[in-house]
Structure 1
Amino acid sequence: MEINKHHCFNLPLIKASKLIVFMLTFITAFNAWAFVNSDVESKTENNKLNKTTVEYYQKDNITNQIPYFDNRFRLDADLEEITLIFYRKSGSTPIILIRPDGSKIRVNQFDHEKVQWFDDSTFDMIKIKKPMPGPWQAVGDILPNSQILVISDVKIAVEPLPDIAFSGETLKVEGKLFNGNDAIESPYFKNVVKLDVNFYSTNNSNHENFGADAIKVTSFRDDGHGLDEYANDNTFTGEFILDFAPGEWQPVYLVKLPMTTRELRQTPILLHKIPVELSVVKSEDPDKPHQLLLAIDPSHVDPNSLVFQGKLTFPDRQTKPFSIMEESGESRTTTITNTEPGIYRVNVSAFGKTISGREFRLVVPEFSFNVEENNYLLNTAGDVNADGTVTINETADELRVKAEQEREEAMLVQQQAQDAEDKETIIIIAAGNSVIILIAVVLFFTLRRKKTKSK
Structure 2
Amino acid sequence: MMIKTLFFVLTLLPFTLLGKEQHARWLSNTFRIDPSIKEVTLFIERESSSVPVVLIKPDGSKLYYQRHPDNVSWASTPERDVITLWKPQPGPWQATGKIAGEHGITLLSVFHLQMDALPTRVFQNEVTQLNGQLAYKNTTLDANYYLDGLSLKALLYAEDNNADKDAFSLAPLELGTFKDDGTGADTLPGDGIMTAEIIFDALPGNYLFQAEISNGVLARYVQNKVLLYPQPVRARFTTPDSSRQWRLEFETDSDVLVDSLTITGELINPLEQSVAISGQGRSIDLPPALQPGNYRWRGRAYVTTMDGREIQIKLKDQVVRVVPPLPGPDENHTLAATSFPLWQQWWLWASAALALMLTVAGVWWWRSRKGHQK
TM-score by length of 2: 0.70
CA shift for structure 1 position 190: 0.9
- Say if 2:254 is the partner of 1:299: yes
Partner SS, residue 188 of structure 1: helix
- Superposed, 1:19-418 pairs within 5 Å as 53-57=10-14, 62-63=20-21, 66=24, 68-69=26-27, 71-77=29-35, 79=37, 82-88=40-46, 91-100=49-58, 103=60, 105=62, 107=64, 111-112=68-69, 115-128=72-85, 131-139=88-96, 140-142=98-100, 144=102, 148-152=106-110, 156-177=113-134, 185-186=141-142, 187-191=144-148, 193-203=150-160, 212-213=169-170, 214-259=172-217, 261-284=219-242, 288-297=243-252, 299-315=254-270, 317-325=271-279, 327=280, 330-373=281-324, 375-376=325-326, 378-379=327-328, 382=330, 413=347
Identity of aligned residues (%): 23
The number of aligned residues is 328
Larger radius of gyration: 1
Instruction: Evaluate the alpha carbon distance shift between residue 80 and residue 280 of structure 1 in structure 2; reply closer, same or farther with a 3 A threshold.
Output: closer
Instruction: Evaluate the alpha carbon distance shift between residue 85 and residue 340 of structure 1 in structure 2; reply closer, same or farther with a 3 A threshold.
Output: closer
Q: Does the CA-based 8 Å contact 1:52-1:182 persist in structure 2? A: no
- CA distances 1:347-367 after superposition (whole Å, capped 9, x unpaired): 333234333443433332233
CA shift for structure 1 position 70: 6.9
Distance of 2:154 and 2:85 partners within structure 1: 30
Instruction: Evaluate the alpha carbon distance shift between residue 83 and residue 371 of structure 1 in structure 2; reply closer, same or farther with a 3 A threshold.
Output: closer
Distance of 1:144 and 1:62 partners within structure 2: 20
Q: Does the CA-based 8 Å contact 2:289-2:322 persist in structure 1? A: no
CA shift for structure 1 position 212: 4.6
Distance of 2:88 and 2:244 partners within structure 1: 79
Amino acid at match of 1:301: V
Instruction: Evaluate the alpha carbon distance shift between residue 323 and residue 343 of structure 1 in structure 2; reply closer, same or farther with a 3 A threshold.
Output: closer
Distance of 1:332 and 1:93 partners within structure 2: 64
- CA distances 1:97-143 after superposition (whole Å, capped 9, x unpaired): 44446x47464586546644322234322244554433334455346
Instruction: Evaluate the alpha carbon distance shift between residue 109 and residue 121 of structure 1 in structure 2; reply closer, same or farther with a 3 A threshold.
Output: closer
Q: Does the CA-based 8 Å contact 2:204-2:227 persist in structure 1? A: no
Partner SS, residue 266 of structure 1: strand
Instruction: Evaluate the alpha carbon distance shift between residue 295 and residue 183 of structure 1 in structure 2; reply closer, same or farther with a 3 A threshold.
Output: same
Amino acid at match of 1:254: E
Q: Does the CA-based 8 Å contact 1:249-1:271 persist in structure 2? A: no
Q: Does the CA-based 8 Å contact 2:267-2:277 persist in structure 1? A: no
Instruction: Evaluate the alpha carbon distance shift between residue 372 and residue 322 of structure 1 in structure 2; reply closer, same or farther with a 3 A threshold.
Output: same
CA shift for structure 1 position 266: 0.7
Instruction: Evaluate the alpha carbon distance shift between residue 123 and residue 182 of structure 1 in structure 2; reply closer, same or farther with a 3 A threshold.
Output: farther
- CA distances 1:369-420 after superposition (whole Å, capped 9, x unpaired): 43434x43x22x625xxxxxxxxx56xxx99xx9xxx9xxx8x959x9xxxx
Instruction: Evaluate the alpha carbon distance shift between residue 91 and residue 174 of structure 1 in structure 2; reply closer, same or farther with a 3 A threshold.
Output: farther
Distance of 1:200 and 1:88 partners within structure 2: 37
Instruction: Evaluate the alpha carbon distance shift between residue 199 and residue 143 of structure 1 in structure 2; reply closer, same or farther with a 3 A threshold.
Output: farther
CA shift for structure 1 position 227: 1.0
CA shift for structure 1 position 150: 3.0
Amino acid at match of 1:200: Y
Partner SS, residue 179 of structure 2: coil
Residue ranges of structure 2 left out of the alignment (5+ in a row): 1-6, 163-167, 351-374
Partner SS, residue 238 of structure 2: strand
Distance of 1:265 and 1:349 partners within structure 2: 27
- CA distances 1:17-67 after superposition (whole Å, capped 9, x unpaired): xxxxxxxxxxxxxxxxxxxxxxxxxxxxxxxxx986243349976358658
Answer 1 or 2: higher relative contact order, Cα 8 Å, separation at least 6. Answer: 2
Instruction: Evaluate the alpha carbon distance shift between residue 116 and residue 173 of structure 1 in structure 2; reply closer, same or farther with a 3 A threshold.
Output: closer
Higher helix share: 1
Q: Does the CA-based 8 Å contact 1:53-1:147 persist in structure 2? A: no
Distance of 1:170 and 1:116 partners within structure 2: 37
- CA distances 1:81-103 after superposition (whole Å, capped 9, x unpaired): 543333455545544444446x4
Distance of 1:90 and 1:219 partners within structure 2: 27
CA shift for structure 1 position 334: 0.8
TM-score by length of 1: 0.59
- CA distances 1:190-222 after superposition (whole Å, capped 9, x unpaired): 1154322221223499xxxxx954312122222
Q: Does the CA-based 8 Å contact 1:176-1:183 persist in structure 2? A: no
Instruction: Evaluate the alpha carbon distance shift between residue 151 and residue 87 of structure 1 in structure 2; reply closer, same or farther with a 3 A threshold.
Output: farther
Amino acid at match of 1:367: Q
Q: Does the CA-based 8 Å contact 1:343-1:368 persist in structure 2? A: yes
CA shift for structure 1 position 256: 0.8
Q: Does the CA-based 8 Å contact 2:296-2:318 persist in structure 1? A: yes
Q: Does the CA-based 8 Å contact 1:280-1:290 persist in structure 2? A: no
Amino acid at match of 1:308: I
Distance of 1:77 and 1:93 partners within structure 2: 30
Partner SS, residue 346 of structure 1: strand
Q: Does the CA-based 8 Å contact 2:125-2:202 persist in structure 1? A: yes
